[in-house]
Structure 1
Amino acid sequence: MCGACVVHLRTLRPEFVRDAFVRYRITYVSLVPMIVKNLERGLRAKFDELPSWKRTLLNAMIATNRLLTRHRPNVKLSRMLLSNVHRGFGGEVLALITGGAFIEPSTMQFFYDLGIPVVNGYGLTEAGTALTLNDLKPFRADTVGKPLPGVELRILNPDAEGVGEVAARSKTVMSHYLDDPELTLETIVDGWLLTGDLGRFESGGHLQLFGRKKNMIVTEGGKNIYPEDIETAFDGLPVKEYSVFAANYVWPKKELGRESLMLVLRLEQNQKFDARLLEEISARNRRLPDFKRVSGYLIWEKDFPRTASMKIKRQALAEEIAKSLGRDAVVAL
């Protein structure tokens, strides 16, 4: 027999989430990636406020913890090395569990280096939620883990880099959509659920995801690129939120081989787009292969529309931008 107390919060505002860790001595917590990112921002802000000697000591402890736990987490050791950090989380946290949307690898690495592993997975409603889970053996920030017991995954029509559509088969997969036989026939083929997500398996059996099939862009040179993949290059950019779009997706204009990518930015309240931010965007962009680089940026004044699991509603955002702005709003890089 075993059991646990389950705590439900009425709000996911960061200050209430932080308070819950201490008040209820949370051991495991399930959060959407956006809330995990907000916790990271709060911690980084607190670290930046430390006197220089304390920050130097903290950095040394983090580096030591990273070295000693590089293959597998060791919570007891991490609590000894970074006791103040763990005390701020109630002193009992074993892992953060996240899913439902993309989480930046750097965010996962940030918490892992503090001795608080972030366990991410992959799934969808049609498959009874979870299909894969990162088992931390070893920790991998760039994957969504391995298939769960009883789950079969395969990659359909992989390209030269092994990327193709993820298909799933399991007893947890739905039998059909209610009152929609046509969609059922499109989605379940020969017992396999076509997820619409693009991914590949790496040598260790971990699944890597690259984006939605419907979002894939084919370049003039025949290269397949995915907005979600390009967005990782701007991971940690000091803005409220951002997203990458093909210009022709926002403002349809069929010109073969003339596609261009743009970075849509939502700044923090009272934040100004200055030369420093421009240089950081340009530097990150230069590190991308030529065919993946964004050609310009656009400043958007509203919060991005999101789903209940905090995924960006790309189509809704594109439609809002198209209604309010023209192509001339994109500033060239």
Structure 2
Amino acid sequence: MTKKELAILDRYRQNVLKEGRLRDIKQMLSLIEKHYPNDNLAIVEKRKDEIIEYTIKRTLHDIRALGTALVNMGLKGKHIAICGENSYAWLISFLAIICGVGIAVPIDKELTDDGISQLISKADCEVVFCSKTYVKCMKAHQKNDERCKTVICFNKEVDAPGFYTFQNLIDEGDKLLKDGDTSYTDIEIDSNAMTAIFFTSGTTGANKGVMLSHKNLCTNVNGITDLIPSEGSSFSLLPMNHVFELSCNCLTAMYMNATIYINDSLKNILANIQLFKPHALNAVPLVLEGIYYGIWAEAERKGKADALRKLVSLSNKLREKGIDMRPVLFSTIKKKFGNKFPTLACGGAASRAEYVKGLGDFGFKVYNGYGLTESSPTVTLNMEADRDPTSAGYVFPKTSIRINEPDEEGVGEIWIKGDNVFQGYYKDPEATAASFEDGWFKTGDFGKLTASNELFISGRKKSLIILDNGKNVFPEDIEFGLMDNISYVREAVALESEQVINGHNTKIIASVLYVEPSDFPDKTDDEILKIVKTDVADVNRKMPSYKKVTDVVLTYTEFDKSSTRKIIRAKAAERYFNSKEG
């Protein structure tokens, strides 16, 4: 997209924003139709080697046609699950459901078949949309839960009772619309009613169904468009079943008519970025790590790492004087990303300062923030993350933050309230009641808030290490301390354990460290462990005495992660305790 084309698009966007605050997503679709040229691209996806483009006109038609077909099938008010890879069909299904049919229930496709089935049943779903990958799973689910009588497959004809295809339903809805059927398009949206159930990733416990409304989702979209300059296009990489990708990227991009390019495979990320040349993408820390290490690995391989370090040093000195030469100095790197540095909006977990600052040094614009599924998801936003990667940013519009019972350093549990905060956990009144106090949602995260409303995160309440001397230690402090000071440590998990010291069982801080044997050529396992323990001891000397790591266990494989690439702490702890038993 040229600067002239972007300027024209921005004029259309201003007309959209003049309509006032979004109330619901159905209204958003109407505004898109009213203000943008209907032949503008809305969504682009790649199926194998074929590039398929969907205009605004086609996209809005398919949403309405699908919605009309579903209503005529008697599915109004039903809970409808969606399980599959990111695709145009996935997004159209979600939008059709929430804009008049029923309750959308995005499901994590990375779960086991049993796990998928359990969540579909837990959310009381009677209908499922799925890709062909999950047809077998859905057939098994129907046998386990007789309530699920309808399965709609995105990309495969299935000769089985109760199975339909996505495109056939759109074709049927198209005929109904042409015959004057307004049973779907006339439905009015209650912006305060539950419209979707998003399941938490369950990294520290069971998956809980988070009930979100149109008001919740629109509060997030409104806030992002208030704060972040709109880009010309966006790259959909993270799973759409997570509200971070769906709300912060897809819904916001549609509202601002930033073309959404859908990535078809993790192995094709760089190739697709070079193909589509997106202006922005949402990422998790592991993606930032991959980009950062990929740049340096290539420089090392070509023998240009020293030259690159000198360029970074020169560039940073020039920037201190107000001279930004990054597009010129790092033009070779820029070409790898479609001849532009895409904006990287990172969420899902804390990012290592090394990656955020390092990418900023090259010219990437990095946004960081803090959020939860329960807050739709944004709570704070740091739009200059490369300048201070430790900050989670400033409080999001329409959101209030309270630090409950802060200690002498101002650290306490983060409580939030606002139009973005969820209604409660589906069919779990006890968990809902336990999570709220006087209208405030208790996040379970600890942090501190500055006088200027800037938030700094300390860690999770559930993973807090409490020592015998009463000291509270956030494992994240230990983990980043180890990774920032020991270059070969790929991942780290700190946890509470016990050790007999002076004849007494004493609580200690233990750590499991993921390292690669290739970083220690010709060394035995015992020799590697000895080297690591020596380096950990060096780090201990830089830390307060109560944060000393007393026991170290190594693993040569990366930790188990959720679909948003968060380390599952319970699985990491298993590795530690299993090693002790062995």
Q: TM-score, length-normalised on structure 2?
A: 0.51
> What one-letter code is carried by the residue in structure 2 that aligns with 1:11?
S
Decide whether the 8 Å contact of 2:483 with 2:491 is kept in 1: no
Report the 3-state secondary structure (helix = DSSP H, G, I; strand = E; otherwise coil) of the residue aligned with 1:259: strand
Q: Take 1:282 and 1:121, find their aligned partners in 2: how far apart are those partners?
A: 32
Q: Does 1:17 align with 2:248?
A: no
Alignment partner of 1:6 is 2:260: yes
1:190 maps to which of 409, 427, 438: 438
1:162 matched to 2:410? The reply is: yes
Pair 1:221–1:132, CA change in 2 (3 A) = same
Give the residue type in structure 1 aligned to 2:549: V
Q: CA RMSD in A?
A: 2.6
Contact 1:220-1:257 within 8 A present in 2 as well: no
Amino acid at match of 2:266: L
Counterpart residue identity of residue 554, structure 2? I
Q: Give, as a single letter, the amino acid of the residue that structure 1 aligns with 2:535.
A: E
Task: Provide the C-alpha distance between the structure 1 equivalents of 2:495 and 2:385, rounded to a whole number of angstroms.
Answer: 35
Identity %: 27
**Distance change in 2, residues 1:69/1:132 (3 Å):** farther
Partner of 1:232: 480
Q: How far is the alpha carbon of 1:270 from its aligned partner? A: 5.0
Give the match's secondary structure for 1:152: strand
Kindly tell me: are residues 32 and 94 of structure 1, through their superposed partners in 2, closer, same or farther at Cα, counting changes over 3 Å? same
CA distance in 1, matches of 2:320, 2:398: 29
Paired position in structure 2 for 1:287: 542
What aligned pairs does 1:138-287 form with structure 2 within 5 A after superposition?
Answer: 139-236=387-484, 237-248=487-498, 258-268=506-516, 270=518, 272=520, 274=528, 276-287=531-542
- Give the partner amino acid of 1:200: K
**Structure 2 residue ranges without an equivalent (≥5):** 1-11, 14-256
Which ranges in structure 1 are unaligned for 5 or more consecutive residues?
A: none
Tell me: CA distance 1:177–1:29, structure 2 relative to 1, closer, same or farther (3 Å). same
Q: Deviations over 1:236-256 (max 9, x none)?
A: 5314422111114xx9xxx99
Q: Counterpart in 1 of 2:316? A: 66
Q: How far does residue 277 in structure 1 lie from its aligned partner after superposition?
A: 4.2
2:572 to 317, 322, 331: 317
Secondary structure of 1:149's counterpart equals coil
Matches within 5 A, 1:58-137: 58-69=308-319, 77-136=325-384
**Could you report, residue by residue, the CA deviation over 1:191-236 in whole angstroms, capped at 9, with x for unpaired residues?**
1110000101235432111111122123333322110111111225
Q: Does residue 1:34 correspond to 2:291, yes or no?
A: no
Q: Could you tell me how far 1:320 is from its partner in structure 2?
A: 4.8
Instruction: State how far apart, in whole Å, the 1-side matches of 2:279 and 2:264 are.
Output: 19
* SS across alignment from 1:47: helix
Q: Using the alignment, how far apart are the partners of 1:137 and 1:69 within structure 2?
A: 16
Cα deviation for residue 133 of structure 1 reads: 0.8
The structure with more radius of gyration: 2
- What is the CA-CA distance between 1:71 and the residue it aligns to? 10
Distance, in Å, in 1 between the alignment partners of 2:259 and 2:370 is 25
**Native 8 Å contact 1:32 1:98 kept in 2:** yes
One-letter identity of the residue aligned with 1:309: T
Secondary structure of residue in 1 paired with 2:553: strand
Any idea what SS the aligned residue of 2:549 has? Answer: coil
Whether 2:302 is the aligned partner of 1:47: answer: no
Task: Judge conservation of contact 1:28–1:95 (CA < 8 Å) in 2.
Answer: yes
**TM-score, normalised to structure 1's length?**
0.85
* Residue 71 to residue 321, structure 1, CA distance change in 2 (3 Å): farther
Write the letter of the residue equivalent to 2:300: D
- Aligned to 1:61, the other structure's residue is in SS state helix
User: How far off its partner does 1:94 sit?
Assistant: 4.0
